[in-house]
Amino acid sequence: MDLGIRGRKAIVNGGSAGMGRSAVQALAREGVELYVSSRGEERLVQACKEIADDTGAKVVPICADHSTPEGREKILAACPEPDILVGTCSPPPMTPDYRAITDQQWRDAIDISLLSPVEFMRRVIDGMAERNWGRIVNIATVAAKYPGEIRVLSGATRAALTNYTVAVSKLVAKHNVIINNLLPGMHHSAFVEVQFNERAAAKGITYDEEVAEFSREWRIAAERFGDCDDVGDFVAMFCSQQANYITGQSLVIDGGATTSIF
């Protein structure tokens, strides 16, 4: 299916690995011109080169911390009038004890997963509305909808982001600016692989065994973690021309770990 976005320009923040990289890959396959930010230059440049070589798309790396004003200025200077904005970031650490969360961890989480995407939206939405076309997708977390202590540092800030984006989506839908959220559960991202290899090593078991144990404990119906491409493909779909009548939605992608009819 042709998603109707060939030639559009997109900013993808946090796009060097994991779900962000999968989003870049999926958009590049559709012929989107991409501007990809990340803090780690080596991994970012390599990822952009590989995706460009694979798809033939223009993929521009921007080494910048999008949680800072300086980083945001650098990114927007490279692509001042994006048609598409995709926001994601490295998740904060798991929090098995809410009392152990430090003030600095809260500030960092708020800066990168709430204030940064809100500021990017504020900066680009008016231009999208004037051009009568825009797509914004925030990759948040299933914990924004289904709170749990282990993900409270991630879920609380992204719940606020989800609330904000849904509210704003109602104001700009008449201008064909479509805003949605993706709420992923457990996927084989770089972050998860580090965390779960550490958990496995502490128990003297393999990564796969730790994933299977966690899947049983948290009652993931699929009995496995997802792949990052499962999320990246939905980013492209939500950015498509066909998504012009879907707005203010928050789609859970969690393999059936949570239970809700809506």
Residue 134 tokens read as: 């825009």
Closest by Cα among 10, 13, 140, 11 to 66: 13
Q: Given this model, what pLDDT does residue 201 score?
A: 94
Task: Return the DSSP state at 111.
Answer: I
Q: What phi and psi, each to the nearest 5 degrees, are found at residue 197?
A: -65, -40
Q: Given this model, what pLDDT does residue 92 score?
A: 80
Q: What phi and psi, each to the nearest 5 degrees, are found at residue 261?
A: -90, -5
| Residues 6+ positions from 261 with CB-CB distance below 8 Å | none
Q: Given this model, what pLDDT does residue 112 score?
A: 93
- Helices marked H in the chain: 18-29, 41-55, 69-78, 103-110, 116-131, 152-172, 190-203, 207-217, 228-238
Q: Each residue's pLDDT tens digit in the chain (262 positions)? A: 899 999 999 999 999 999 999 999 999 999 999 999 999 999 999 999 999 999 999 999 999 999 999 999 999 999 999 999 999 977 787 888 899 999 999 999 999 999 999 999 999 999 999 999 999 999 999 999 999 888 899 899 999 999 999 999 999 999 999 999 999 999 999 889 998 999 999 999 999 999 999 999 999 999 999 999 999 999 999 999 999 999 999 999 999 999 988 8
Q: Given this model, what pLDDT does residue 190 score?
A: 86
Task: Return the DSSP state at 145.
Answer: T
Q: Given this model, what pLDDT does residue 260 score?
A: 86
**Domain residues of the chain, as ranges?**
9-187+227-249, 188-225
32 and 6 Cβ atoms separated by less than 8 Å = yes
Residue 136 tokens read as: 């914004």
Q: Given this model, what pLDDT does residue 223 score?
A: 96
Tell me how many degrees the CA angle 74-231-248 measures, rounded to the nearest 5. Answer: 75
Alpha carbon 194 to its chain's center: 18
Query: 9-187+227-249 has which CATH code?
Result: 3.40.50.720
